[in-house]
Amino acid sequence: MNAALRRALLALPTLFGVATLVFFFIHLIPGDPVDVMLGEAASAADRVRLRAALGLDRPLLEQYVGFLVHAAHGDLGRSLRDGTPVSALIRGRLPATLLLAAAAGSMALAVAIPLGAISARHRGRWLDSAATGFALLGASLPNFLLGPLLVLPFSVWLGWLPVSGADSAASLVLPAVTLGLGMSAILTRLVRAAVLDALSADYIRTARAKGLSEPAVFLRHALRSALLPVATILGLQLGSLFGGAIITETIFAWPGVGRLTLQAIDSRDYPLVQGCVLVIACGYVAANLLTDLAYQRLDPRVRFGRREAR
Amino acid sequence: MTASARLGAVLVGSFLAVALAAPLLAPFDPAQPSLSENLSPPSLAHPFGQDRLGRDILSRIVYGSRASLLVGISTVAVSLTLGTALGLFSGLAGGWIDEAMMRVIDVLLAFPGILLAIAISAVLGPSLANVVIALSVIGWTGYARLVRAETLSLRERAHVESAIALGAGPSRVVFYHVLPLLAGPLAVQATFGVAGAIVAEASLSFLGLGTQPPAPSWGAMLNEGRRFLLVAPHVALFPGLAVFATVLGINFLGDGLRDWLDVRMPVTGYGLPAIKKTSNE
Amino acid sequence: MAALFIVWTATSGCSGRPRRTETLVVGLEAMPTDLDPRFATDAASSRIDDLVFRALTRLDEHQEHVPDLAVDWRFDAPLSVRFQIRADATFSDGSPLTAADVRATYESILDPKTASPKREDLAFLESLDTPDDHTVRFHLKAPFAPFLEATTIGILPRSQLASTERVRIGSGAYRIVGVTPDREVQLASRAEHRGIREIRFRVIPDDTVRALELAKGTIDLVENAVEPENVRWLEGHSETCVRRIAGTTFQYIGINFEDSHLRDLRVRRAIAQAIDRPSLIQHLLGGAARPAGGLLAPEHWAYEDDVKKYSYDPAEAKRLLDAAGYPDPDDDGPAVRFRLSYKTSTIDSRRRIGEALQAMLAAVGIGLDVRSFEWGTFYDDVRRGNFQLYSLAWVGVSDPDFFFTMLHSTMTPPRGNNRGGYVDPEVDRLTELGRRTLDAAQRQKIYAAVQHRVAEELPFIPLWWTDNVVVQSERLCGFVPYPDGSLISLTTAWLLTAPNFPRGTGSTPCGCGHS
């Protein structure tokens, strides 16, 4: 419990760092939200007025401190465009992002576990290379290609699934598969490595000696030992998905936080960008935290001493 | 060497050869458009077909390998150097310096990579060099963590402790004891890092950042090709195959390298074979 | 976890919610930024606003103002225009539309606290008054010919304008039922309207996905948002048809007059003659554009055809560059006379055009550095004059007074659109005169002179007028594309229901035989 609290507290400086980084980045890159909002025909007086109304004419440091103080209280400010509270805008997108992350994660596991197991089982033979090759195919094709390549057969030719949007549960399938295939590459290799490791470990030999059949040995012991590192990495990958699914969200018109961030950047909507990045960072930090905690609780070796040199 | 490692070596070797000998191999000028022949499918004169401006795709793939090679190697070189230096420093110094370094790494990883890339290109302008910068700013963290972890555990090893006890200064410790042990995992990590950078370049080109026309890069070609998937799939197919073959080759080679060096790669969160997009989608 | 996922997707049905045959689905590239007419500046918002908000006037196919809410208008004093408002207009909440609403809408825009981007457009207005319930008078500060430009702003109910919220109630044929940010806008037809009951505008950012949705039949209409190659692909599909009409969107190359090379007229002319517009149009735009001689398209009432034209002539371009004092160091070899930077956004088709231009200019010895920037940065650079050459398009230019904000020497950003800093006393004089002259025939002469001058001096290099390309489902009937892209004809269109609509390519003209 102590360790958990400590880890959670350590997250605070991280979030502070992220907040600082995003604030200065977004304010220092070229582009002015007032220009975006008023277009070209507005008078100088109008610009000055709008800038003042939005609080953008205060000294940068003062705006920075204001942002931090409000954020600490959970107030992420209001969108420059129409004054909607940033937290409301983000809250509207969070479910879609979480849903996509969960679905993509499941998809990744559904691919990685069998492929990795096959790879390990037939290590060194062509099936091993083929399985790895397939996993790498998903890894080397960018999502903006993989997406439409999946849409063509499954949505247009067969008509099974919607092309894009988020109207129904079926709309989740293609984006999740697209994202999941990319994530599965690393996971497949991990499953393979972990299973191989486990297969040569002492307690496996004991199980075999005890007379357990080969498939049982494989499934019950080897595979289970792979779950821990896989869960760890999957947790980290999911943490990155908050902001990392931007391309998939754009292709499939999936209303997630990533796309909101991109649009906010386009219109230089400072509070919205800051809010989105903070939420994305929180997601990452939370995923990391949970993963670490799960790892600590589940790995017997780690429980009893962190510094075991491997 | 296993069969797959051999295949990997062949693929990587071909990639390097093509990149280095590009002017000799490309049948056409990669930047020469021929508008009337745009999107022509593969033919005898143009085995890979022609792109949106009628340029020969085979020649562009051959020259594009240079951009990929450059991005891959530069990103890894910068990330590796920076990451190793900072990881060593962090691991050896320990205490609050180490904690601070870990926080810096956390901040960089929690920050969405895409935004970082956009910000960098907005401030510095779009170019391949800036792609390398954008990728390295996040990339060094993987190496730093690996090096730090190994440094921390190596510090307690017997021979290192005795070396310190005998009065060896920190640089001696580093160069004679720590670095040689790190060389293995770092080499493997770097190999996979090249593959990751090549794929990340494609994703950044989706946002329009990266090589500027008319310089070809596989990533830009993939991005261009996605618009024509319905009418001219060959425009995306061949760069896609090129990227796939290269990534496959690098991964197989990396596997072989790891087996040969008999390196145990720590698996928990750091020191991961960085194959692809976790934060830089 | 995996098992749950499989079960859940299997039980959730096949392709989304059931299609109602009275619903038309329109595909958009991007979410409209703001539907409130006081703030709507992007194309998507304008398209939707055309259907929801009526204004005093609207534009017809010749970009001329025709009555909408105002049945007529005339000057009853040199600086006072009287608009007669129709008596039968109502808002979607049932309340009648009166002159008070018109006045309240304009005053809201004029109010600095509203921060409307259209405020400056109303700078010519001294005040408004309402002599009676169906009459509004505009009082102008000075004679200002383009005053009708300001009459296409949608009218809002006075009662809604009291708060600072965005207003969604209008007097158009459709009303806004729902807005889901970044996903869709739903319109429903008002009770007395027959035809299409419901229109959904769906946001689909990716071009290929839009084409696939059209092919599948899940969206029915996309205007100017399908790449030429995908249009070709869709033409082969039996359930969609493609319509092209001449458009008014003007694509051009912007020039920075701070640059020493570009200041020389011979260099500008050389660039104009080095570009093979027909080839670009045919090969990169799928033929969906017309080479442009100037800002105004031939359909425009003020269009002047008798101006200097620049044909594709690389030899002449080289001669001009030589004459300007920039010899080619190696006569057709790779070395260039001088380099210019060309900025563009990250939109793929724009980059492609930039690359083609690069090759064409290289052929006459000018080195073009094509750099693409993220939109915010690009637009900012253009506005700050931080460029040498760039390319953009002007959409929806209706009054030729636009020449004023585009070329008058005082209209450099942030005041106006003279981004290149062009200074020409003749153009200044003419455009000022054009604003003050109320007689239509005289204005036509003035702007003919402007177009003449502009074609001679090339403050920007005209490229083409893009056609309006509409891809629609064959079940949509009676839709007429407008040159400026307006979707207003949807108010008189209708949808065929399943057994009746024709299958097979080309058997029935697109739009059910109505033009």
A44, burial (CB in 10 Å: exposed 0-12, middle 13-18, buried 19+):
exposed
pLDDT-derived band at A44 (thresholds 50, 70, 90) equals: confident
**pLDDT greater than 70 at residue A212:** no
Residue of A38, A265, A269 best to disrupt the C interface, most CBs of C under 10 A? A38
pLDDT of residue C17: 38
Q: Same domain, yes or no, for C255 and C241?
A: no
Model confidence pLDDT, tens digit, residues B23-80: 988 899 988 889 988 899 999 999 999 999 999 999 999 999 999 889 999 999 999 9
Residue C335 lies in a domain: yes
Model confidence pLDDT, tens digit, residues A63-73: 999 999 998 88
Structure tokens at A281: 């960072």
Provide, as residue numbers in chain A, all residues whose Cβ is less than 8 Å from the Cβ of C4: 106
Q: Are C12 and A169 in contact (CB < 8 Å)?
A: yes
**pLDDT greater than 60 at residue B135:** yes
The Cα B203–Cα C391 span in angstroms is 25
Provide, as residue numbers in chain C, all residues whose Cβ is less than 8 Å from the Cβ of B125: 371, 373
Q: In one letter, which amino acid is C445?
A: K
Put simply, whether the predicted model's pTM sits higher than 0.90 gets the answer: no
Phi, psi (deg, nearest 5) at residue C300: -70, 145
Provide, as residue numbers in chain C, all residues whose Cβ is less than 8 Å from the Cβ of A39: 41, 117
How far away is chain A from the Cα of C135, in angstroms, using its nearest Cα?
Answer: 29
Ramachandran quadrant class, B266 (left: phi over 0; alpha: psi -120 to 50; beta: rest)? beta
How far away is chain B from the Cα of A180, in angstroms, using its nearest Cα?
Answer: 11
Using alpha carbons only, how large is chain A's radius of gyration in Å?
Answer: 24
- Could you give the angle at which helices C228-235 and C207-216 cross, rounded to 10 degrees? 10
CA angle at C251 for the pair C245 and C257, rounded to the nearest 5°: 160
Residue C210 lies in a domain: yes
Q: Same domain, yes or no, for C211 and C135?
A: no
Measuring CA to CA, which residue among A137, A149, A143 is closest to residue A188? A137
Q: Same domain, yes or no, for C115 and C256?
A: no
Instruction: Give every CB contact of residue B177 below 8 A, 6+ residues apart in sequence.
Output: B154, B159, B160, B163
CA angle at A170 for the pair A168 and A171, rounded to the nearest 5°: 70
**pLDDT greater than 60 at residue B245:** yes
Q: In one letter, which amino acid is C196?
A: I
Beta-bridged to residue C198, according to DSSP, are C23, C188
**pLDDT greater than 70 at residue B259:** yes
Q: Are B33 and C355 in contact (CB < 8 Å)?
A: yes
pLDDT of residue B17: 93
Q: What is the mean pLDDT of residues A204-214?
A: 65
The Cα C490–Cα C506 span in angstroms is 22
The mean pLDDT value of chain C amounts to: 88
Q: Same domain, yes or no, for C85 and C107?
A: yes
Q: Return the minimum-mean-pLDDT range out of B1-5, C186-190, C380-384.
A: B1-5
Q: B181-209 in b/e burial notation, b at 16+ Cβ within 10 A?
A: bbebbbebbbbbbbbbbbbbbbbbbbbbb
Residue C37 lies in a domain: no
Q: Are B223 and C348 in contact (CB < 8 Å)?
A: yes
pLDDT of residue C21: 61
Provide, as residue numbers in chain B, all residues whose Cβ is less than 8 Å from the Cβ of C355: 33, 53, 213-214
Q: Same domain, yes or no, for C280 and C349?
A: yes
Q: Return the minimum-mean-pLDDT range out of A118-132, C213-227, C496-510.
A: C496-510
**pLDDT greater than 80 at residue C201:** yes
Measuring CA to CA, which residue among C255, C264, C376, C364 is closest to residue C317? C364
Distant-in-sequence contacts of A288-294, Cβ < 8 A, 24+ apart = A288/A235, A288/A236, A288/A239, A288/B106, A289/A4, A289/A7, A289/A8, A289/A11, A290/A235, A291/A231, A291/A232, A291/A235, A291/A236, A291/A239, A291/B269, A292/A7, A292/B269, A293/A3, A293/A4, A293/A7, A294/A231, A294/A232, A294/A235
Q: Same domain, yes or no, for C110 and C191?
A: no
**C394 reaches A (C-beta below 8 A):** no
Model confidence pLDDT, tens digit, residues B168-178: 666 666 666 67
**pLDDT greater than 80 at residue C504:** no
pLDDT-derived band at B263 (thresholds 50, 70, 90) equals: low
Q: Same domain, yes or no, for C187 and C81?
A: no
Q: What is the mean pLDDT of residues A188-204?
A: 74
CA angle at A162 for the pair A160 and A165, rounded to the nearest 5°: 165
How far away is chain B from the Cα of A211, in angstroms, using its nearest Cα?
Answer: 30
Model confidence pLDDT, tens digit, residues A242-287: 777 888 888 888 888 988 998 888 889 999 999 999 999 998 888 8
Model confidence pLDDT, tens digit, residues A82-105: 788 999 999 999 999 999 999 999
C226, burial (CB in 10 Å: exposed 0-12, middle 13-18, buried 19+):
buried
**Contact residues, A window 130-169, toward C, CB-based 8 Å cutoff:** 144, 147-148, 151-152, 155-156, 159-169
Q: Which of C130, C160, C190 marks a domain boundary?
A: C160
Number of inter-chain CB pairs under 8 A, A vs C:
165
Q: Provide the percentage of residues in chain A whose pLDDT is more than 70.
A: 87
- Return the partners of chain A (3 or more C-beta pairs < 8 Å): B, C
The answer to whether the beta carbons of residues C210 and C218 sit under 8 Å apart is: no
Q: Same domain, yes or no, for C226 and C339?
A: no
| Pairing label, strands C174-180, C184-189 | antiparallel
Selection from A285-294, B48-57, B124-133 with the highest mean pLDDT:
B48-57
Model confidence pLDDT, tens digit, residues C391-418: 999 988 888 999 999 999 999 887 888 9
The Cα B130–Cα B74 span in angstroms is 11
Q: Are C373 and B208 in contact (CB < 8 Å)?
A: yes
Provide, as residue numbers in chain C, all residues whose Cβ is less than 8 Å from the Cβ of A155: 212, 216
Residue C38 lies in a domain: no
Q: Which of A17, A136, A291 sits opposite B103 (nearest CB)?
A: A17
pLDDT of residue B271: 33
pLDDT of residue B265: 57
Q: Are A263 and C182 in contact (CB < 8 Å)?
A: yes
Instruction: Give every CB contact of residue B119 below 8 A, 6+ residues apart in sequence.
Output: A25, A26, A29
Phi, psi (deg, nearest 5) at residue C190: -80, 155
Q: Same domain, yes or no, for C441 and C295?
A: yes
pLDDT of residue C508: 53
Task: Determine the 3-state secondary structure of C96 from DSSP.
Answer: strand
The mean pLDDT value of chain A amounts to: 82
pLDDT of residue A207: 65
The answer to whether the beta carbons of residues B246 and B195 sit under 8 Å apart is: yes
Q: Report how many domains make up chain C.
A: 3
Residue C332 lies in a domain: yes
The Cα C298–Cα A231 span in angstroms is 65
State the residue range of the domain holding C83: 51-160
pLDDT of residue B169: 65
pLDDT of residue A220: 67
Going along chain A from its start, the domains and CATH numbers come out as: 93-298 (1.10.3720.10)
Structure tokens at C95: 């309340």
Q: Which residue has the higher pLDDT, B10 or C16?
A: B10
Per the listing, tokens 């304010």 go with A27
Q: Same domain, yes or no, for C254 and C383?
A: yes
Q: How many CA atoms lie within 13 A of C119 on its CB side?
A: 22
Q: Same domain, yes or no, for C476 and C461?
A: no
Q: What is the mean pLDDT of residues C447-453?
A: 96
- Return the partners of chain B (3 or more C-beta pairs < 8 Å): A, C
pLDDT-derived band at A5 (thresholds 50, 70, 90) equals: confident
Residue of C369, C373, C381 best to disrupt the B interface, most CBs of B under 10 A? C373
CA dist list (Å): C244 to A306, C136, C286, C287, C450: 70, 39, 11, 10, 30
Residue by residue, DSSP assigns C395-432 as: ----STTHHHHHH-TT--TTTSS-TT----HHHHHHHH
pLDDT of residue A288: 84
Model confidence pLDDT, tens digit, residues C19-56: 456 899 999 998 998 999 999 988 899 999 999 999 99
The Cα C117–Cα C33 span in angstroms is 13
Measuring CA to CA, which residue among A65, A92, A95, A69 is closest to residue A79? A92
- Could you give the angle at which helices A143-151 and B179-206 cross, rounded to 10 degrees? 50
**C216 reaches B (C-beta below 8 A):** no
Residue of B2, B68, B111 best to disrupt the A interface, most CBs of A under 10 A? B111
Phi, psi (deg, nearest 5) at residue C464: -160, 165
Measuring CA to CA, which residue among B153, B262, B119, B139 is closest to residue B192? B139
- Return the partners of chain C (3 or more C-beta pairs < 8 Å): A, B
The Cα A294–Cα A230 span in angstroms is 12
Q: Which of C117, C134, C160 marks a domain boundary?
A: C160
Q: Which residue has the higher pLDDT, C298 or B207?
A: C298
Provide, as residue numbers in chain B, all residues whose Cβ is less than 8 Å from the Cβ of C347: 208
The answer to whether the beta carbons of residues C366 and C16 sit under 8 Å apart is: no
pLDDT-derived band at A162 (thresholds 50, 70, 90) equals: confident
Q: Does the N-terminal peptide bond of residue C96 adopt cis geometry, omega within 30 degrees of 0?
A: no
Q: Are B247 and A17 in contact (CB < 8 Å)?
A: no
**Contact residues, A window 247-276, toward B, CB-based 8 Å cutoff:** 247-248, 258, 261-262, 265, 273
CATH of the domain at C177: 3.40.190.10
Provide, as residue numbers in chain A, all residues whose Cβ is less than 8 Å from the Cβ of C204: 164-165, 253
Provide, as residue numbers in chain B, all residues whose Cβ is less than 8 Å from the Cβ of A124: 2
pLDDT of residue A308: 37
pLDDT of residue A1: 59
Residue C348 lies in a domain: yes
Instruction: Give every CB contact of residue C465 below 8 A, 6+ residues apart in sequence.
Output: C246, C247, C248, C249, C250, C251, C289, C290, C292, C297
The Cα A92–Cα C360 span in angstroms is 49
Alpha helices in B156-217, H assignment, sequence order? 158-165, 170-172, 179-206
Using alpha carbons only, how large is chain C's radius of gyration in Å?
Answer: 25
**Contact residues, C window 333-372, toward B, CB-based 8 Å cutoff:** 345-348, 351-352, 354-356, 358-359, 369-372
pLDDT of residue A155: 83
Provide, as residue numbers in chain A, all residues whose Cβ is less than 8 Å from the Cβ of B195: 140
pLDDT of residue B145: 87
Q: What is the mean pLDDT of residues A121-126?
A: 79
CATH of the domain at C398: 3.10.105.10
Model confidence pLDDT, tens digit, residues B151-210: 877 776 666 666 666 666 666 666 666 777 778 888 888 888 888 888 888 878 877 777
Residue C489 lies in a domain: yes
Q: Are B228 and C229 in contact (CB < 8 Å)?
A: yes
Provide, as residue numbers in chain A, all residues whose Cβ is less than 8 Å from the Cβ of B251: 132, 136
Q: Same domain, yes or no, for C440 and C489?
A: no
CATH of the domain at C117: 3.90.76.10
Residue by residue, DSSP assigns C228-253 as: HHHHHHHHT-TTEEEEEEEEEEEEEE
**A80 reaches B (C-beta below 8 A):** no
**Contact residues, A window 235-274, toward C, CB-based 8 Å cutoff:** 250-253, 255, 259-260, 263, 265-268
Task: Determine the 3-state secondary structure of B156 from DSSP.
Answer: coil
**Contact residues, C window 83-102, toward A, CB-based 8 Å cutoff:** none
Provide, as residue numbers in chain B, all residues whose Cβ is less than 8 Å from the Cβ of C227: 227
Residue C442 lies in a domain: yes
